[in-house]
Structure formats: structure tokens, C-alpha cells
Structure 1
Amino acid sequence: PHRRRAVAFAGLRVSAVAWEELATRRPGHTALTAAARHSHCKRLAAEGDLARACTALTAPPALAPSPDTLVSLQAKHPQAPDLSALGSPRPGAVPDFEIEAVAQAVQGFKRGSAPGPSGLRADHLREALLSAHADEVATDLTGPRVAGLLLASASEVGVGVPSGCDVAVHATRAWLHHNSGHADKILVKLDFRNAFNSVDRTALLRAVRADSPECACWADWCYGCSSRLLFGDSVIQSTCGVQQGDPLRPLFFALVLQPALAAAEGPLDLRYAFLDDVVLAGSSVPVCRALDRLTAEAARVGLVLEPTKSEVVVPNSGICPLASCGVAASLSCWAPLLAGPPTATMELPDAQTALLLLRYCASHVKLVHAARVTPPPLHEPALLEFDERVRSCLEHIGALTLTQQAWRQACLKVRLGGLGLRSASRHAPAAYIAYVSACAAACSQLDPNFRLDLSQPVATYNAAVAAGDRVPPAPQHVRQQQLSAALDAAELAAIQ
């Protein structure tokens, strides 16, 4: 029976790919019909690839091949001189990772993720690790993502730093708060123009050979010659930058950027990068001098600042983008985009698939990062509005009208009798408390004067849970899962 089901499923998948993704994409017709999008979404959801299922439902169609589009793509991939002058790399000693570490890294890859230069998808590797030859396969493979953890720099929070993006936001917000009103303090946020496609591969390969010889052969395999990018019937030669699909892409970029970050070292309060976004903060004169040195050093490796995407922030509560008014303005701009996935699930004719996507891709998960890095009062109105949109979608999918008690139950976990549609507004304090405490040590490395006041979110959280689940004013090492479980327990007790 299992073999017959596997054969039937494979046949269904092949026919779906051949018909929906090839036959319906005729020249000049890049947009799928609504019925085809819904069928594609349902098929991906049935395979367990919920993220791609949601993307199939909401993503805009690809641009049709045209001369103008081809010219724009070619401009995104500047040409570089021949790399043959570098010579062949010296094979470095491959790190001897434990089998368990490699297996854990492979199991952590997203289902359905695209292959790298080897052509092997994460699903292929995951299946191999489940076979009788798992030990042999795991011994012969090295987990590139694990290597990245060993080679990260303290000033680069985009590689090898858990929750690095959260660390960057919390450290920056705390600095702006503590320096509010200071006459001579500034913060600059720098962005490089087309950074990942423009970085000099000669500099990249030299940096990898010098700082990470274990990865030199891999880097030369990926970047030692021109990459061929296909667009319709045209071929674009990519001779600069790092490529999507390379698991070491963030690490390689960070290695190339390190000399520029080192050149910016000086009497600054903050100096860090999250991949190609660089932040410098402190008194105006040292920041300007550091900016000049960083700009000059970055230009040596093909990186040019993009003025239209770079910002100068004055720590004044009236104009700072991380203050209350700035957060409100940003959320108002993003509201239509955040509302897109929940609303799109209402179009699906299959109610079961629609509910599945609403639970895992289009409800609270859309705002998890915002809840982790934003003080709850600053975006509470937006979270309440988002919760109402999710409720409306659920009512439309189920063709029903929910009472307030029924909606509260729907927001509980499935194992508690709910639908798993976690309330973004109710769980926001738990997310913020957990991630401020988790990021505190890393934030202190960026800014020794780091501190954030958690009294208000802690008070809000403690008022919503049982007495035994309350946390101290400055909690240490608390997990969001633990805090949210206490909120669910209190909510369940209240509606019973």
C-alpha cells in the first residue's frame, strides 16, 4: 500500500509540474489564472511546504521576458576582470564536524528549498540521512551553515549570532533612548548599492583563502568562473557578487566586508553590520571620520554606498524613526502588506487548506519579528487591527459568525481545544520580554552601556497570567514558548 501511494503521489506531482508550471506559462502569459494559483497552492500545502504555498497564493507573477527587463537585469550584474591570476587554491583541512551536528544542520534546512551548485536539494540530503547509509553520508558531507558559526566576527551580527537582527534593533533602540536630546550624538545607517551582486570576487576569494582556508575549494567552485543566469532565451554572465542558493553566501560577504568595518574602528558608541547594512553611532566628528574610512575601504572590494537608502538619525524623540511616532508611521505604511496573506486565504475554495495557511503562514507568525523588537504599547493598535483581520478571515473561511468566547478559544493552541490562531496583541509582551532577555548579552557586546527598561511589558504580562507564572521586573533567560504557554493557560481558565 505504501509503494502504491508513493507511486500515485509521484505521478500526481509530475503531472502537476508539467501542466500547471509549463503548459499554463505560455510566452507572453506569465501570470497564472486564479484557479491555477489555487491548485498550485493546494498541492504545495499537501506536500507540507506551507511557506511556498502561501507565496504561490500571494506573490506577484514574474516579469515577462523583454529587452527592457533584460537590460535592467544586466545592470544588476556588473562585469569583472578574469580571476585566473589568483591561481588555484590550496586545499585546506576540512573541519571534522560531529555527525550529529551535520545531521541537525541538514534537518534544519527549509523543506523545498532550492539546490546549490551541486544540484542537491535539502530534501535529498534529508532523505539520505533517514536511510540505512545515514552515517556514511553524514561523514562525507560538511554542513556549511555550521562552518559559518565558527568564523563569524563580533562586529557582524548577520552571521553566526543567534537572533542577530533582533540584537541589532534592541541595541540601536537602547542607544537612541539613552542619548535622546544629546546635541552632538548621531547615528548613521548605511546601505550599499546592489551589494550582494557587486562585491569583487577577487577580493572574496582572497579573503576566504586567508581567513577560512577550509572553505577555499568550495568558494573557488562557486565563484572561480562566471555564473550563467538564464532569463527566457537570454544568458546573463555574472562575474561579480555572491549567488543565491550558496549556503555560505552570508559568511563570504561578511568576510569581504570585515576590513571596511575594521577601518571604521574608533571612539564610537556603536559599530556593527547586519550583512550589508552598517550602523555607526556616537559623537558627530568621530562618526564622520569613521564613515570616510569605511567608504574608502569598502570601495576597494566593489562596494559603493547608496545615499538614497542610507540614513542619518538624530536621537530626538520627535523625529527619531524608532520613537513612538516613527513606529506608528512605519506600521501604517506596512499595514496593507501585512494584511495581504490573511486576506488571500479567503480566496481559496478549499477551506481546510485556507485554515492551514491562516494558522501557520498568515496570522501571528507575520508579526513575530515586530513583536520581538517593538515595545508593545508602540504598536498595540496595529496588532489589534491585525487580529480583527484574522478573525474576519476565519469567519469567512468557516462561513460563520464567532462570538467573543469562541474567538478567544480559537486563539488557543490546538492541544488546548483551539485552532492555533494566536493573538498577536495578547502575546506581544511575551515575545518582547523573551527576546530582550535573550539578546541582552549580545547587545552588551555591541554597546557596553546597553540597558532596556522592561517594567511596562512585564507589568502587562503579569496582569494577564496566574500568580505562579509571573516574572520578575528584570527576567533572565525566559523563553517565549514558556511565557506564551502561561498566557494560554490563563485564557483557557478564563473561558471555561
Structure 2
Amino acid sequence: MLLACALPAFPLGAAPGVDPRIYNPAPTPPRRKTRAVTTEGMLRTRSRERDGNVILEAASRSGTAANCLNNRFQSFSLEAPHRSMDDGSPSRGSRSTDTVGPATIPVVGTQTRDADMGAEVPVPPPPVTDEHRRADRPFTRAPSGRIRCPVPGCPASDPAQAPGWQSLATMHSHPNSHRAGDNQGAAPPSWLVANRLTQRTECDEFMVGEQGATHPRCRPNARARAATAGEAGRALQRAAPNSHNNRPTLDEIMSSKRPTLKHVPKGCRHVWSAVLAQALAAAHLAAVALGGRTAPADTSRCVDAWVELFMLPKCTLNPTARSGRRHRKLTSQHTKARLERWLAGERAELWQDGAPKNTGKPKAKTSKEVRRRRALDLVEEDRLGPACAALSSQGSAPDTPATLAALQAKHPTGQAPSPEAAPPRDAATPALTPEEVLKAVQAFRNGSAAGPSGLRPQHLLDGVRSPDQRVALEALTDVLNTLVWGRVPICLAPAIAGAALHAIAKGEGDVRPIAVGETLRRLASRCLCASTKEDATQYLRPLQAGVACPLGTEAAFRAVDQYARRHANSSTKVALKIDFANAFNTAGRETFLRACNLHAPSAARWSWRCYSQPTTLYYGDTVLQSSAGVQQGDNLGPLLFSLALQPVLLRLKAHYGASNKNLDLLVAYLDDVVLAGDADIVAEALGVLQEACSTIGLLLDLSKCEVIPTAGLASAADLSIFPASSKRTAQHCLDYTRSKRVDTIKESLTELSDLGEGHCAYKILATCMGSCKVMYSMRTARPDWAHDAFAEFDCLVRTAFENIIGAPLSNTALQQSVLSSSKGGLGLRSAATLAPAAYVASVCSTWDLCRDIDPNYIWEGEFAGSGIAMATQILNSQLPVEEQLDIATAPPSEPHEQRNMSDALEQAAALRLRAAGTDSNGARLRAAAAPHAGAWLNAPACRNAGLRLTSAEFAAAAMFRAGASFMTSDTWCPKRDRVLEHTAAHAVACAGGGHRVVRHNSIRDECYWRCLAVGVEAEREESGLLPSDPLRRPADVFLAAWPGGIQLALDFAVTCPLQADMRADAAARPLA
């Protein structure tokens, strides 16, 4: 919620950063805490001495945005600049401006380097004049305390016609309108002198300061003029372009192809947080000050503030020419320098400096080597999902006229919503809180792409996540509240609600459009999803299972599947699956905007601002317009589409539920609709649905519609009454899992085996290509029917892993490798083994929702041969008696979680492996299952962090953990005169040759260096700790100062459970 609060403003005659009366030249800059205390004292002093002076009222929660607002935001800056240098060029370091958090107060009198001139000159303190000591300012105030325009005859000077302004700062644009000629008359010179208003040297706007002073925005051009000598320099000065006018437009910012850093360097995140908070606060306060006015003169300042916010990432977060670990410090310095230039007012110069250079290199084609490098780069960032997709990606579609035409065809022109579809003025939109915003920012996936402005979710996270960045978080919350309340100018909506469009190559010469929306827009929609969830559930459930309905897709499948089996002997029953053509891009906007006003009012204002006019899609150098449907990537898109389709579904349910023509089943998952019942009624309902959907812009894709007779080949239903282009399937395809899941992964597994980095390949295989690849099939397909397909899939995964390590696995090693890392395995989960647990968990968790979709849905646990009965039987056969399930007669009162049942299966399998093996295998299995013993498998394979193993190292570690054979047979150890097993059990414990304490010393040194890295004083192998035996060294690492005033001695011991005299004991109980 935005609350109006009164904050003491800086006196309009003094610099906000330096008070001449408390001037104290110091040899070194003040510390952060000192700056904060000094700033607070100055504000209190000025507020008391100038009682009755200007009070700045900002509509902002707790005044956060007002405190963040830099003086540059106002037309006439509240800043009194320092005295210029002898050559007339003020130093960049001599600026006096507020920053977010503790104020940055330049130390007057110290050496300051000018970035352009390269000279170090002393900056004298500002003179103490009567003007600074003046306790009052002769504002033109009405008796009520509000400021009126001093121009005679101006309507704003008449209290009967205009409300006036609370302060001189809030009437910033009005004097400029008189100066520009937009309003008649001119401000009296005496009023300008009394309020110290002067004209800027580089532009025509007013500022607070002495005559001839330079505004921070104008300083770059002033330095450029001073650097040019002679008459030519003065001529160039007169012809110098206005920096403010050279600023790009919003469309130029969004359409420019300028890359931004994937994350903000750590060394400059505090500066980035301050700059971000400043820009956010300026945009928020500009929108608040604008109110509901729509005149161009009024909206120009608000537009300027938002344009600067969107140009910030591409101006300051540009990557350097050289990147990588060796140049990380250079990147940090480069970014910090650009952020400081932004604070100095060099917006237009930063934009020009950051223009991309045309290298003339042709765009690299998508080849196997390119995909491999791309996958390795993504693994380095711990983005395993995109790395998996990169291995089999076909790349972007070629930038040709055919591709552009295909994209235009997928974004047809629609009719603009009428004004009647706008939300009411009293539409309730709950205010977002900083905690909700931070949670939404953290919910973005790692490496989420940037929007058209170049702002990434990671940039926001780097600027708001730490406690000392609370100011930036609150400023971001203010901006998001401004967006969701629809208070931004309507002229900004096409760009804010726009997206960067990409064309991905698709089969059969088609393209798939991928739209990446602006980050602030995605964040605002993500925050609104939580507030609309309850309303959406109440209105859409159970007809729509795709929005605000967990496990909706599984419940819809189960309801239809059981309906087909219940009517397997009915010769007239059919199930019809309906699909729409390009549904999300063709839905009528007025339809879902009206529905949003009624059923999701908390999102009505934001939805109207985004979809009330065509939005802009930036594809390369081409700008497309989207005027129909919802935008891809919009978090509110599925909800808005469902709101448009829901009246049609309700109409069908009302018509075919109250008459004799009953429609047995009606359910939708987003744009996929299923009708079930008698064939003639379903065909009639299809016609009604087709006609109703045409009125909201949706067209059926009959070539994708499927008619499935429940009786299969024995059906007597007349399929000719359905459109000829629809698919007429007589029986369900039992090998769906094999064709759609198993066959499609073979090519990806082949690419994975050729990746060349064993550790990276394993991470992708275990995380993205294991059982998770077929998890939906495991939860929906009967495990007894799909067992062969799952077993084939496990065989493919096993072969891929053997290719990665370069060695075959025995059956025992394979049984261990499919266990989770916490149970001593390698995390290559078996789909065939875990399928019964997944199926049972799905049936139990979707029971209530299936009953809502189909009132005739029944529990099938008591029927022998049903899916749930067979899955339970298979599951119980692998569990001990005390862990077995009994859900035959009724569904469980509490749903069984898949994780718990999978853990029980793996624990039983681990116990069987220990019982069947020798003492050596038992000791190895128990040691592998010890706490944190498998942490190296779960760590990211990041080379820069020193966590990536070479292919040989990973293969050796994985084979030893799984008990694989390093040699074809046992041999003899010549050092210790013992048997050297083929599993290398003796090799890791052999004391013959080599350094016996190498592991111990490695752990000791790692702990020692980590302590030093975090500033903890540590000593290695400290002697003299025991007075009775001063030569002993009981501490590998000694910490002299530990919290609580104690001293801490750390001693490390490395044991090997595979030693011959310890194997029996290690197999029977844990050693640690």
C-alpha cells in the first residue's frame, strides 16, 4: 500500500550533500557509518532551522522511494554544484548528490581526479554566503500553505481554478512550461532570483543554483567543451548537442541488440543496488506525481523517468571485450566505472559508448561442436536443464522472409477491446509487500533470459537479496505496485508489455515462436498469480484443470481413462479430444478482459494495461504488433485464456446437463478439451462448441482432434458424423510410452556420450535424462503394461553411463548405481523399479479432483486386475512386511507421497545388496551410504570453483563407489604381499609406497585456507598446545579466537573401511 508521508526536503538554496556550516576538511573520506550519522544530522538541522519551508510529500510507503530519488530527477535540481575548475570544467568527482542508503559526501578540499581531464585538482569548499544562512525563502504561497504560480493571469495562480502545489519541488514542470511557451507569460525575474532558479547551461530547463552553474547531466558536455581549446572549441561548444535530447527512445532501447552481463559482479553489487533503487524510485515517483493526467506536457517527465529505468541495464551492465575467469576483475572495474558515470549524469554518453560493434563475423551455424560447447557452458553455470536441451537443439530458424512471414501468421491482427471492458475505478488490487516481491524474484529459474531492455531476473536478485539492500527491494516493490495498479502512462504499455521474439526451428519447415517478456512485466504477473489463485480455483474448477489446479493434467487423464474402461462394453460411447489452432495467440482480448473484471479483479488493472492496445514484439530489426490473444511467457496468460474459454464450457455443461441429452464428461486442460458420451450427442456438442468458440476468436484444428470409441474395434458408433479431417482411433495405442518417450531420447543419449567431459555428462544424465524424463508416464501408465518400455529406457541410460566412464558395469554394480546418492548409489534411478510407487502416489493424490471432474469416478483398489491393484501388488512384493500398503478397499485418508515410497524401495534394495555380498562389499556399501559420502556427486560440475573432475578422475571415483572392476581378475600386490582385488579395494588401503597421509594433509590444508579466506586467524600444526608434551601437535588447524571467547583445535582423521582387518566390523556397523 502506498501511504502519503511528509519528508523534510533539502532547502532550495543549499547543496544536499554538503553543509558549509559543518564543513570539516578531513584527510581521508569518512566511513560509512559516519556518513550515515552526518547525513541524518544535517537533515534534522535543516528541517528545524527552516521551519515552515518546503515539505516534500511523496506518495510512497515509508518514504522509501522519496529518499532514493536523486536530485537529477527534478527539472531544476535541488543540488548546488561545486565551484567549477579554472577551465570551466567541473570534476566528475566533485559532484554532491545523495545516494541510496548512507549518503556519499565528497570530502571537500581533498584531491579529486577528473576522468576526462586526467588532472588532480583541489576542490575548494563552497562559500558561506548570506544566501546559505537565509532561514526562509519567499515562496509564492497561498494562505493555505500551497504554492501558486507567480505568473499573473495564469490559471494556476488562481486558487479557485487550481489546487496549487505543496512545494516548489512538486511544481517542477510548470515554470518550464512558461519558459518553453506552452503557457502564456513568464515567471518574474524577482521570483526566480528569490528562489535561486537559473537556466541550465546545456538545456533550457531551470535548476537550483548560482548563475552559470552546471547541472550534473550537463557536465559531460561541459568537460568536452573545456577539452577543446581556442575559437574552434568555442564554436564546438555553441554547436554541442543537448545530452538530454540525445537520449534514445523507448523503442530504440527495446529493439537494440546489446548484450548484458548474466550477473552483476560481486565487487560492484552495492553500487548497482544504489543505482537500481535510484532509477526505480524516480520512475515510481514520476508515475505518482502524474496522477491521472494524460496531457503530453504532463506525461513527458514520467516517460523520461521510465525510459531511463529501461535503458539502465544496457548502459551499465555491458560485458567487456574479454571475459572469463582471468578477466573477472576487469569486468568488475568496467561495470563499476559505468555505474559511477551513470550517477554523474552521463546517460546519453553511456548509451552511445555501449553501441554494439559490427565485427562482420557470420553467425555460427548450429553444429554438433557448437551444441557441445553450449552444453558445457551451461553446465558450468549449473543450468543442467538448458544444457540437456542444447544437446539436441535444432537452433534458431534462419532469419529469412519465410520465417518472418510464419511469425506474422502466428500473431494475427485482432480487434481492440472497447472502453467498456476497462476495469472499474474501484477495482481492488492488493498491495504487494517486499517479502512477496523477494520471493517472486527468487522463484525465477537460474539463468532466466533478459527481456527487451536487457534486464535479467538475476540483475534484480543481485540488487535486492541481501539485508543491506532493503532500500532497493522496497523501491522495486513500489514500482511493481505502480504497475499492477495501472498507474504508468498508457504510451509506455506497448513496450512494457512487449517481448523479444525468437523463432525456433520446428519440424516440417515450421517455426515455434518464443517470446521473452520484459522482466518487470513477468515479475508483476508472477506476484499477481498468488493473489488470484483462490478466485481462479473457485471459478474454473472442475471444468478447467489447467489453472490453479495442482495435478490437474493427471486428474483429467485418470478421469477420461476410467470413463473409457467403464464403458468398454458400450458400443455407442466415444471420447473426443478437441484441440484449437494457435489458441493462445487468437483468443479475443475483450472477452478475457471482461471476465477478468468479474472473476479475477485483483489482476484486472494490470491486465487492462497490458492488453488494452497492441503490444510490441521485437524480432531482430523488425517490430511486430500483437493485438490478439495472450502473450507467451506471461504468467497470467493461462489464467486469462481460461477465463475466455470458461463461459463456453459452462454453456455446454448447462445445456447438456439439464436436458435428456446428457454429456457424460466435460473437462479441459487449457486449450485441450475432452467431451465424452453417446456419439451423436458428442458430435452435436462439437458443433455447439465450434460455433461458440468462433465468437471469441478460437478456431478448431480438426486435424488434431481425435475420436476414440470406448469399445475399440467392437464399437458400433457411427464415426462418419464427425468431421472427416479428425483422427478416428479405434483402439488405444499401448506402445505410446515407447514411441513418445523412449525412442525420442535415443539421439540425446548418443550426443551425451560424445560430450567429452565425463563429469558434465553424468550431471546431465542423472538430473535431466534419467527417470525424470519419463516421470509423467510412470505416474499415469500402468506399471505392468509399461514395464517393458521402462526396462528398455533403463537399458539406454545404463549404456549411456557405461560409455561415459568407458567401462561395463556388472549386475551388482548396476543394482547399486540405481540407488540414490544418500543410499550409496550413483543416482541413476530406475524407471521400471520406481514406476509402481509413482503410479500409486498419483492415483491416491488425484482421487478428490477426479471425483469433482467425474461424479461417477470410483475407487478401483478392490477390483483384481485394475491398475491400482496391480501397482500395489508389485510395490508390496519389493517391500518388507511392515512397509507394505493396504489400500484395496478404500483410498487412504492421507495421500502417500511418492518420495517416501521410493525411499522405502531403495532402502530395501540396499539391505538386499549388503546381505548378499561379501564383507568387502558390505563395508564399501555402508561407507558409500554414510552421511555426506555422496556430496561430490551432487556438487555442481563448475570448473571455475574447482569442482569439476576430469573424465578419468570421475570414471575412477564412480567405478570405485559402485564396486566396478578395474581389472579383469585379481592379482598380487608386490608391495604388501597380498591379493590386489579387481575392484581396487586393496589399492586404496595399501601402505606400500607413496605418501600415506596425502588425503589427511589435503583436508587439513583445505580447511586452513578456507579459514584464512573468511578472515579467521588459523595456524597449521601448532606446537606447544600441551604443556605436558610441548613437542606434540594435537591440532591440525588451531583457531585462537572462536565465538564465545574460546580456542578451538581441529584434528582430522582419515579411515579406510576396506582394510583387511576392518572389513568385517565396517560391514556390520557404521565407522563414523
Shared fold per TM-score greater than 0.5: yes
The answer as to whether partners of 1:181 and 1:316 remain within 8 angstroms in 2 is yes
Corresponding residue for residue 292 of structure 1: 687
Correspondence for 1:163: 551
Q: CA deviation at 1:238?
A: 1.7
407, 418, 435: which one aligns with 2:842: 435
Partner residue, 1:405: 812
Q: Greater CA deviation, 156-165 or 200-209?
A: 200-209
- 2:786 counterpart of 1:391: no
Residues 1:214 and 2:577 are matched in the alignment: no
Q: Tell me, yes or no, if structure 1 residue 470 matches structure 2 residue 884.
A: yes
Task: Tell me if the contact between 1:264 and 1:291 (Cα under 8 Å) persists in the aligned partners.
Answer: no
Contact map agreement 2:571 2:714 (CA 8 A) in 1: no
Match of 2:668 in 1: 273
**Could you list the runs of 5+ residues in structure 2 that have no partner in the other structure?**
1-264, 270-322, 332-356, 481-523, 657-661, 716-727, 862-867, 915-1072
Report the 3-state secondary structure (helix = DSSP H, G, I; strand = E; otherwise coil) of the residue aligned with 1:376. coil
Partner of 1:93: 428
Give runs of aligned pairs for residues 182-261 of structure 1, distance below 5 A: 182-261=570-649
SS of the counterpart of 2:786?
helix
Offset at residue 292 of structure 1 (A): 2.6
For 1:222 and 1:203, locate their aligned partners in 2 and report how far apart those are by CA, in whole Å: 14
Q: Residue type matched to 1:159 in 2?
A: V
Which 10-residue stretch deviates more, 345-354 or 290-299?
Answer: 290-299
Paired position in structure 1 for 2:766: 359
| Contact 1:30 1:61 (8 Å CA) reproduced | no
Tell me if structure 2 keeps the 8 A contact 1:116–1:246. no
Distance 1:331 1:214 in 2: 45
Read off the aligned partner of 2:632 and give its amino acid letter.
Q
Match for 1:31: what amino acid?
A: K
Amino acid at match of 2:897: R
Larger radius of gyration: 2
Match for 1:145: what amino acid? C
Mapped contact 1:208–1:255 kept (Cα < 8 A): yes
**Which amino acid in 2 is paired with 1:193?**
A
Q: Distance in 2 between matches of 1:23 and 1:406?
A: 55
Taking structure 1 as reference, are residues 117 and 26 closer, same or farther at Cα in structure 2, changes over 3 Å only?
closer
How far 1:98 moved relative to its partner? 7.5
Task: State the 1:181 CA deviation.
Answer: 1.9
Larger RCO (CA under 8 A, 6+ residues apart): 1
Deviation at 1:75, TM superposition (A): 1.3
Contact kept, 8 Å, 1:260 with 1:295, in 2: the verdict is: no
Which whole-Å deviations, capped at 9, do the CAs of 1:91-143 have from their partners, x for residues lacking one?
52223678766655554433223456897644345556632156747965562
Asked if the contact 2:663/2:676 (under 8 Å) is kept, the reply is yes
Asked whether the equivalents of residues 129 and 137 of structure 1 are also in contact (C-alpha less than 8 Å), the reply is no
Q: Does 1:72 align with 2:406?
A: yes
Where 1:187 maps in the other structure, the secondary structure is: strand
Relative to structure 1, is the Cα distance of residues 333 and 358 closer, same or farther in structure 2, using a 3 angstrom cutoff? closer
Amino acid at match of 1:472: D
Cα distance in 1 for residues equivalent to 2:596 and 2:816? 53
2:528 is aligned with 1:144: yes
In structure 2, do the counterparts of structure 1 residues 105 and 269 end up closer, same or farther at CA, with 3 Å as the change threshold?
A: farther
TM-score for the superposition, normalised by structure 2:
0.43
Bigger CA drift: 475-484 or 3-12? 3-12
- Cα offsets for 1:449-471 (capped at 9, x unmatched): 11344111000000011222111
SS of corresponding position for 1:402 = coil
1:341 aligns with 2:748: yes
Q: Who is 1:57 aligned against?
A: 391
Given the alignment of the two structures, is residue 455 of structure 1 paired with residue 869 of structure 2, yes or no?
yes
State the distance in 2 between where 1:448 and 1:161 align.
18
AA of the residue aligned to 1:479: E
Residues of 2 paired with 1:13 and 1:43: CA distance? 20
284-293 vs 116-125, greater mean Cα deviation:
116-125
- CA distance in 2 between counterparts of 1:45 and 1:310 reads 40
Amino acid at match of 1:463: S
* C-alpha distance after superposition, 1:152-181 (max 9, x if no partner): 311110001101111111111111111112
Alpha-carbon distance change, 323 to 359 in structure 1, aligned in 2, over 3 angstroms: farther
Instruction: State which of 820, 824, 833 in structure 2 corresponds to 1:426.
Output: 833
Farther-moved stretch of structure 1 (57-66 vs 82-91): 82-91
Query: What is residue 566 of structure 2 aligned with on the other side?
Result: 178
User: What is the Cα deviation at residue 430 of structure 1?
Assistant: 0.5
Picking from 822, 827, 835, the partner of 1:415 is 822
Structure 2 counterpart SS, 1:357: helix
Contact 1:148 1:251 in 2 (8 A): no
Is the 1:268–1:287 contact (alpha carbons within 8 Å) kept by the matching residues of 2? Answer: yes
Code of the residue aligned with 2:686 in structure 1: it is: L
> Secondary structure at the residue paired with 1:48?
coil
TM-score, normalised to structure 1, is: 0.89
Distance 1:223 1:85, change over 3 A: same
2:901 corresponds, among 455, 469, 483, to: 483
SS, match of residue 734 in structure 2: helix
SS of equivalent residue, structure 2 residue 846: helix
The secondary structure found in structure 2 opposite 1:280 is strand
Residue 678 of structure 2 corresponds to: 283
CA distance in 1 between partners of 2:768 and 2:360 (Å): 26
The code of the aligned residue for 1:299 comes to: S
Decide whether the 8 Å contact of 2:422 with 2:593 is kept in 1. no
The 3 A distance-change label for structure 1 pair 170 and 124 is farther
Q: Say whether the 8 Å CA contact 1:166–1:435 is kept in structure 2.
A: yes
Contact persistence 2:571–2:711 (CA under 8 A): no
How far is the alpha carbon of 1:90 from its aligned partner?
A: 3.5
C-alpha displacement at 1:236, in angstroms? 2.4
AA matched with 1:146? A
The residue that corresponds to 1:42 in the other structure is: 376
3-state SS of paired residue (1:166): helix
Deviation at 1:185, TM superposition (A): 1.4
2:912 maps to 1:494: yes
Task: Judging by fraction of residues, say which structure has more helix.
Answer: 1
Instruction: Give the C-alpha shift of residue 332 in structure 1.
Output: 2.7
SS at the partner of 1:313?
Answer: strand
Distance 1:436 1:294 in 2: 31
- Aligned equivalents of 1:207, 1:11: Cα separation in 2: 54
Residues in 1 aligned to 2:387 and 2:328: alpha-carbon distance in whole angstroms: 17
Q: CA deviation at 1:344?
A: 2.3
Moved more, 266-275 or 161-170: 266-275
Deviation, 1:242, is: 1.0
Q: Structure 2 counterpart of 1:490, which letter?
A: A
Q: Give the conservation status (yes or no) of the 8 Å contact 1:259–1:297.
A: no
Whether the 8 Å CA contact 2:707–2:729 is kept in 1: the answer is no
Conserved? CA contact 2:709–2:730, under 8 Å: no
Contact residue 30 and residue 63 of structure 1 kept, 8 A: no
